[in-house]
Amino acid sequence: MKLTDAALAGDRRALARLLSWVENGAPEGREALATLFPRTGHAHVVGITGSPGAGKSTLVGKLAKEIRQHEPRLAIVAVDPSSPFSGGALLGDRLRMQDLVADSGIFIRSMASRGHPGGIAHATRDVVLLLDALGFPVILVETVGAGQAQVEVARIAHTVVLVEAPGMGDEVQALKAGLMEIADIIVVNKADRPEARQTVRALQAAYLGMTAAGHHTPSTEQPLEVIPGWETPILQTAAVDNQGLTELVAAITAHRHYLEISGRWELLSRLHARAEVETWLQRHLMLLLEERVGEQRLAAAVEAVLRREKDPATAAQELLEPLLSR
C-alpha cells in the first residue's frame, strides 16, 4: 500500500511520515502533495495568534475538545519557536496538550518556525494542505507569539482568532493595530483576572476606531483589502476553567457561515491560492538565482556591502543584471 493510501485510510504513522517529508521539503513530500491536492479546499483553517503568555496553547487544547463534540476529528498545527542550534521546535506544544493524546480524533503536529517572520514556518502552508487533503474538517494553527508580523497567519487561515491576556491597557492601539485589523474574533483569555474587564474595554475602544474602514483580509496585490459585513466579536474565556469555550466555538462556526453565504470563502481561497503560487515562485527563483549567480559572486557582493562600498539593493541589482540581459 502506498503511503498516501495508508494515510487516507487513517494510518497515523503514514501521516506522520508524509508530514515529515513535506516539512523537510523532500521530493516525496512534493509528490504526495501533488497527488493529494485535488482533495483539498474543504477544511476550515482557524489561525490562533496573539502575544506570548496569553495562554494560546491552553486555549487551543480546550478549544479542540469543545470542537470535537461537533466534529469527527480535527488537526492542530502548533508552530513553535526554533532552537537556534538544531532548528527544531523548542517548546514542544504537544507537551502542553498531553490530555489530547488519548483522543484518536485529534492529530497534533508541532513545527519549528525556523526564524521565519510572521510566526509561520515556511512549510506550514503545505502541512495544512496535506491535512486538508486527508479529510480533517477543522485545522487549528497556533502561531508563535511575535507581535504584528503575525498577520502572516491570515494568508493561510479562513478565520483568525486573536488571543490577548488581561492587563494590556493603553498598549492595545500602539502594539496590536496590525493584528486587530486581520482578527475575525478577539478573545481576552484568563478572564477570571480582575483586570480582564478593563482590557476588554480597551480592545473595544481600539476596534471602534477601525470599524469605519470595515474588516480586512490579506491581499497579494495590496497590503489589506476591505471586507465589510462581519462585526468582530470580543469574547472572554478562562481556558483553564473551560469558561467561554462554547461561545468561542459558536463565533468560529458563525464566521465560517458568514464566509460561505457572503462569497468570502471563495475570495479567501483565491487569495490563498495566489499566495501559495507566489511562495513557490519565490522559492524556485531563489534556487535558480543561487545556481546561476554562484557562491563566489554572492560572497563578493556580501563583502562589498560589509565594507560599505555598495548598498544591498545595488549589490543585488548588479548580481541580477547579467542574468536579465541574456
Residue 37 per-residue DSSP state: G
Average pLDDT of the segment spanning 164-178: 62
pTM for the whole structure: 0.84
- The pLDDT of residue 241 is 87
Local structure of 184: helix, strand or coil? coil
Average pLDDT of the segment spanning 123-145: 91
Distance CA 191, CA 259 (A): 28
- The pLDDT of residue 190 is 87
- The pLDDT of residue 12 is 92
- The pLDDT of residue 291 is 86
Q: Between 128 and 103, where is the model more confident?
A: 128
- The pLDDT of residue 169 is 52
Q: Between 62 and 149, where is the model more confident?
A: 62
- The pLDDT of residue 89 is 43
pLDDT-derived band at 15 (thresholds 50, 70, 90) equals very high
Q: Between 222 and 21, where is the model more confident?
A: 21
pLDDT in tens, 263-274: 999 999 999 899
Best-predicted range by mean pLDDT (36-40, 98-102, 116-120, 319-323): 36-40
Cα separations in angstroms, 192 against 205, 237, 243, 246, 248: 21, 8, 9, 16, 16
Query: Would you say residue 143 has pLDDT above 60?
Result: yes
- The pLDDT of residue 57 is 86
Average pLDDT of the segment spanning 307-315: 95
- The pLDDT of residue 321 is 86
Distance CA 64, CA 55 (A): 14
pLDDT in tens, 184-242: 999 998 888 888 888 888 788 777 766 554 555 554 444 444 456 888 899 999 988 88
CA dihedral in degrees (114, 278, 282, 224; nearest 10)?
A: -70
Q: Between 209 and 92, where is the model more confident?
A: 209
pLDDT-derived band at 36 (thresholds 50, 70, 90) equals very high
Instruction: For residue 12, give the nearest of 100, 137, 131, 123 by alpha carbon.
Output: 131
Domain annotation for the chain: domains and CATH numbers? 40-264 (3.40.50.300), 280-324 (no CATH)
Local structure of 48: helix, strand or coil? strand
- The pLDDT of residue 121 is 60
Average pLDDT of the segment spanning 90-116: 70
Mean pLDDT of the chain: 82
Question: What are the residues facing 235 on neighbouring strands?
Answer: 187
pLDDT-derived band at 54 (thresholds 50, 70, 90) equals confident
